[in-house]
Chain A
Amino acid sequence: MNRDKDKEAVDESRRGFLRAGAVFGSLALLRGGAGNASATTVRLPMANGERPLARYPQKRALLVLTSRPVQLETPMAVFNQGVITPNDAFFVRWHLANVPTRIDGHRFTIRIHGRVKQPLEFTPAQLANDFEPVELTAVCQCSGNSRGLFEPRVAGGQWANGAMGNAHWKGVRLREVLDKAGLRADAVQVRFNGAEAPPLPQTPDFMKSLDMEIARSEDVLIAYAMNGAPLPLLNGYPLRLVVPGWYATYWVKMLDEIEVLSHEDQNFWTAKAYRIPANACGCLKPDEENVPLVPINRMNVRSFITNIADGAQVPAGRELKVRGIAFDGGFGIKRVLFSSDGGRHWIQTRLGKDHGQYSFREWQTHFQPHKGRSYSLLALAINTIGESQRFTPRWNPSGYLRNVVETIKISAV
């Protein structure tokens, strides 16, 4: 069974990508060799980019970045199959060694305490029954998505572009839960902690904090369902924070503690990690030092061509359909432009159905390749407040915020 499904996934990515392409890792399928529980290896377009393609619990075969803590990348083929990323294909990213492998959803509780009038505790079922359910579609993207494509390379999780996914989330508004507990007058931040735990007492527990204004915004949810089902354990079963438009580092998984603070959080993961240069670009030069930093926050605009792989050979003299996805930090995609000549000429693409301003937005267009010619295909997304992608990749030492216009080189035969 499993093996068939793996093979299907590989065949699917071969079919979907018009023969080959290093960018999507659909080329270079090797046998064995990775010292992991897998039969197949995919090569991502970076040095040391070999990734076992393996099945983890409740998951189809995904690219294994690391096996403990588990970090799994979604193959790009998945994003060509629909605007929603299936639960079993959704990327996985944990930080600390002790991630529970067994959760009793009846007994699991989330505790709200700190600067509140009435500390409270809820089971997932209580949250689902006692509060108004809210549903929205939103992209969850790792802060370090595409880090492996940075040049010069930087240390950290070496993702290609698949540390992202778009799901339909269902849960309750965080602010309603906070209001039930009653905020004290000096409350300024809210800190989130999940059941993942450090192996040593001196290792900082993974916690993230949001300013009250963000925490109380309309669309911040404590989610108990993802695409109509409980969350997969590896995506944070049974409860996960959903902060639409913001990078996934804030989407704390297996959420079991919410602490209201009267001061700015000094915890390592908020105060020291996940920080970006405090300039408009969020970038610096490789040898620049002592640049002020701020916590990473809202996502920038991105787009991807999903049906054609880099290096593909396409049939000449026939209309070639080009399609993909675009998203931003919650303002919504206004336009996606397409160029087949490396950016000299652009045409407007047709946008697909609108699933809300936090969702992937599908787009498509077409053009006619001529025999013997090569093409550089580019997609450029612009959001409703006029933000667009960059033409030159930004650089920062943590490998955050990549949103360069990606290039797909093809030739027509």
Chain B
Amino acid sequence: MQHTGKHLQYRLASNIGCLFLALPIPAFALAFGIVAVKLPPAAELPAQPPNVAQACGICHSGDYIATQPPLTQQQWKSVATAMIKHYGCPISAQNIPIIVKWLVETNGKNE
């Protein structure tokens, strides 16, 4: 119950902020209450991902792939390799070609 109250207070403050944008910050005390949000669902991996591609979904939604410009096979390979090298994407080296094939079919272009 208490939580709801704080949440409302927050919403009120943020509405005020949006309505009177050009004004200096009003002198009311800011309420650092509880803020809880519910996000809309995440976009799924595009096309028909092979099983091993499920690892790509650990860290981000499928729109990370779908919003990229069409990339060449070489470019997709370096994206996949970067995911493993920089971020620790759990895919074994022999599965990279399977992933790259799917990426090129989904959002690829010729050299």
A and B: interacting chains: yes
A contact residues vs B (CB 8 Å cutoff): 34-37, 46-48, 51, 54-58, 64-70, 82-84, 86-88, 96-97, 101-106, 108, 123-125, 128, 135, 148, 153-155, 157-158, 168, 170, 198-204, 224-230, 232-234, 237-238, 268, 272-273
Q: Is the pair A135, B14 in contact by a Cβ cutoff of 8 Å? A: no
When distances are taken between beta carbons in the complex, the residues of chain B under 8 Å from A69 are 60
B contact residues vs A (CB 8 Å cutoff): 10, 13-18, 20-26, 30-44, 58-64, 66-71, 75, 79, 86-88, 90, 107
The 5 tightest CB contacts between A and B, nearest first, are A202-B88, A105-B32, A229-B17, A37-B40, A57-B37
A198 to B90, CA, bound (A): 14
Q: Is the pair B14, A58 in contact by a Cβ cutoff of 8 Å? A: yes
A225 to B14, CA, bound (A): 10
When distances are taken between beta carbons in the complex, the residues of chain B under 8 Å from A70 are 39
Q: Give, as a whole number of angstroms, the nearest-CB distance from A238 to chain B.
A: 5
Q: Is the pair B61, A67 in contact by a Cβ cutoff of 8 Å? A: yes
Q: Is the pair A204, B32 in contact by a Cβ cutoff of 8 Å? A: no
When distances are taken between beta carbons in the complex, the residues of chain B under 8 Å from A238 are 32, 35
| Residue from B17, B34, B79 within 8 A of A87 (CB atoms) | B17
Q: List 27 A-B contacts (CB under 8 A).
A: A35-B62, A36-B63, A46-B69, A48-B69, A55-B40, A57-B38, A57-B39, A58-B37, A66-B63, A68-B60, A70-B39, A96-B59, A103-B36, A106-B32, A124-B32, A135-B24, A148-B69, A155-B68, A155-B69, A155-B71, A168-B21, A200-B58, A200-B88, A227-B17, A227-B21, A228-B13, A272-B86
Q: Is the pair A101, B36 in contact by a Cβ cutoff of 8 Å? A: yes
Q: Give, as a whole number of angstroms, the nearest-CB distance from A92 to chain B.
A: 11
Q: Give, as a whole number of angstroms, the nearest-CB distance from A53 to chain B.
A: 12
A34 to B67, CA, bound (A): 11
Chain A: which residue is nearest B61 at the CB level?
A: A68
| Residue from A103, A157, A225 within 8 A of B35 (CB atoms) | A103
A365 to B58, CA, bound (A): 50
Q: Is the pair B69, A228 in contact by a Cβ cutoff of 8 Å? A: no
Chain A: which residue is nearest B107 at the CB level?
A: A48
Q: Is the pair B68, A67 in contact by a Cβ cutoff of 8 Å? A: no
Besides the contacts A87-B14, A229-B15, what 20 more A-B pairs have beta carbons closer than 8 Å?
A: A48-B66, A58-B14, A65-B63, A67-B41, A87-B17, A97-B59, A101-B37, A101-B38, A102-B36, A155-B69, A198-B87, A199-B58, A199-B59, A200-B59, A228-B25, A228-B26, A229-B18, A230-B30, A237-B35, A272-B86
When distances are taken between beta carbons in the complex, the residues of chain A under 8 Å from B107 are 48
| Residue from A64, A84, A135, A202 within 8 A of B22 (CB atoms) | A84
| Residue from A48, A67, A106, A154 within 8 A of B43 (CB atoms) | A67
Of B17, B20, B75, B79, most buried by chain A (CB within 10 Å of CB) is: B17
Contact residues of B: prevailing secondary structure:
loop
Q: Give, as a whole number of angstroms, the nearest-CB distance from A97 to chain B.
A: 5
Q: Give, as a whole number of angstroms, the nearest-CB distance from B55 to chain A.
A: 10
Q: Is the pair B58, A87 in contact by a Cβ cutoff of 8 Å? A: no
Q: With A86-B18, A87-B14, A104-B34 known to touch, is A153 a contact of B63 (CB < 8 Å)? A: no
Q: Give, as a whole number of angstroms, the nearest-CB distance from A98 to chain B.
A: 9
Q: Is the pair A170, B40 in contact by a Cβ cutoff of 8 Å? A: no
Of B23, B33, B38, most buried by chain A (CB within 10 Å of CB) is: B33
| Residue from A51, A96, A230 within 8 A of B31 (CB atoms) | A230
When distances are taken between beta carbons in the complex, the residues of chain A under 8 Å from B66 are 48
Q: Is the pair B32, A203 in contact by a Cβ cutoff of 8 Å? A: no
Q: Is the pair A230, B43 in contact by a Cβ cutoff of 8 Å? A: no
When distances are taken between beta carbons in the complex, the residues of chain A under 8 Å from B30 are 128, 224-225, 229-230
Q: Is the pair A67, B18 in contact by a Cβ cutoff of 8 Å? A: no
Q: Is the pair B25, A168 in contact by a Cβ cutoff of 8 Å? A: yes
When distances are taken between beta carbons in the complex, the residues of chain A under 8 Å from B21 are 82, 84, 86, 168, 227
When distances are taken between beta carbons in the complex, the residues of chain A under 8 Å from B61 are 66-68
| Residue from A66, A155, A232 within 8 A of B75 (CB atoms) | A155
| Residue from B32, B34, B59, B64 within 8 A of A224 (CB atoms) | B32
Q: Give, as a whole number of angstroms, the nearest-CB distance from A174 to chain B.
A: 19
When distances are taken between beta carbons in the complex, the residues of chain B under 8 Å from A68 are 39, 42-43, 60-61
Q: Give, as a whole number of angstroms, the nearest-CB distance from A331 to chain B.
A: 24
Q: With A37-B40, A86-B18, A229-B16 known to touch, is A66 a contact of B26 (CB < 8 Å)? A: no
When distances are taken between beta carbons in the complex, the residues of chain A under 8 Å from B75 are 155
Q: Give, as a whole number of angstroms, the nearest-CB distance from A256 to chain B.
A: 13
Of B32, B36, B60, B75, most buried by chain A (CB within 10 Å of CB) is: B32
Q: Give, as a whole number of angstroms, the nearest-CB distance from B70 to chain A.
A: 6
Q: With A68-B60, A228-B20 known to touch, is A56 a contact of B14 (CB < 8 Å)? A: no
Of A46, A56, A102, A227, most buried by chain B (CB within 10 Å of CB) is: A227
